[in-house]
Amino acid sequence: MRIGFIGLGIMGRPMAGHLVRAGHEVKGYDLKEVAFGGRFATSVADAVRDAEVVITMLPADPQVEAVFPDIVANAPADALYIDFSTITPQTSRRLAEQRKRTLDAPVSGGEKGAVDGVLSIMVGGSEEDFQAALPIFEAVGKTYRLVGGPGAGQFVKAANQLVVGGTYALLAEAIVLMEAAGVDAEAGLDVLAGGLAGSRILELKRRSMLARDFTPGFRIDLHHKDMGIILDAARTAEVFVPMGALTAQLIAAARAQGYGSLDHSALLKVVEGLSR
């Protein structure tokens, strides 16, 4: 398929690379020139003209809203539009109201999941558009499900980020506790990873956290944005998420302390600071 791909950052670049390797003709665009294996376009308009599928993988609502008018104006009207960005459900719904064949398809799996082409993808939109998007999802993901109409993918992503943020906060507390007690935290985390406390986060991140290597990954700034989406989604659904609210405050503190551009595992620095 002919694909226009906007946003070639930590996630978008490897995803666009997988689409090229799967045999698609990909024109990519970002504010700064990026080598991804396909052709780099000169503008959003250049990337999406003649596209059968338009993809965005941008930081947040303002960036998606900024490029959307260019997509509407320049992409063929029947092109399928897949927004992989994590944004508010309300914005996803608004885009779907303004343009037919629009899917919200936020992802989970982190940079490693994008590089390995094994992302989890939660999709909101119509069954027909979901079916049409399967070759794209197959190239970048491993688990993909249609979870409801427009915006539904973003609600599932909010649930995902609730669990991810909370898990990091508790893992940070576990590390601080073990280190303060003078036990072998590395061996301790190996045992945790093999038991009921085990998780993908523990598996992928325990070594870098112990080494205080907070190279992103997923930036604190982006998780802060996601915590806002979660609290807003909870208000909309009229449910109480006290653990989520606490995690949101810890992530806000990480940002306020200047860690916004570090990986979200840098929550450890905040938790550590509270015990010093």
Residues with a catalytic annotation lie at 157
Per-residue mark of binding to ligand NAD, 29-48 (x: CB under 6 A): xxxx----------------
* Cα separation, 157 vs 208, whole angstroms: 25
The residue from 92, 102, 108, 247 that contacts ligand NAD (CB under 6 A) is 108
The answer to whether 167 and 266 are in contact (CB under 8 A) is: no
Q: Tell me how far apart the alpha carbons of residues 2 and 41 are, in angstroms, rounded to a whole number.
A: 13
10 binds ligand NAD (CB under 6 A): yes
Looking at 4-12, 131-139, 194-202, 233-241, which segment touches ligand NAD (CB under 6 A)?
4-12
* 241 DSSP assignment: -
Q: Give the residue with the Cβ less far from ligand NAD, 158 or 189.
A: 158
Count residues contacting ligand NAD (CB under 6 A)? Answer: 27
Does residue 233 touch ligand NAD according to CB under 6 A?
A: no
Residue 81 main-chain phi, psi, to 5 deg: -110, 120
User: Do residues 22 and 139 lie in contact, with contact meaning Cβ atoms separated by under 8 Å?
Assistant: yes
Q: How far apart are CA 7 and CA 44, in angstroms?
A: 10
The contacts of residue 143 (CB under 8 Å, 6+ apart) are 120, 121
Task: Choose, by CB under 6 A, the member of 107, 158, 171, 209 that binds ligand NAD.
Answer: 107
Residue nearest to ligand NAD (CB): 9
Query: What is the number of other CB atoms lying within 10 angstroms of the CB of residue 37?
Result: 14
Applying CB under 6 A, among 74, 86, 91, 154 the residue interacting with ligand NAD is 86
Report the interface residues with ligand NAD, using CB under 6 A. Answer: 6-12, 29-32, 57-60, 63, 66-67, 85-86, 107-108, 110-111, 217-218, 222
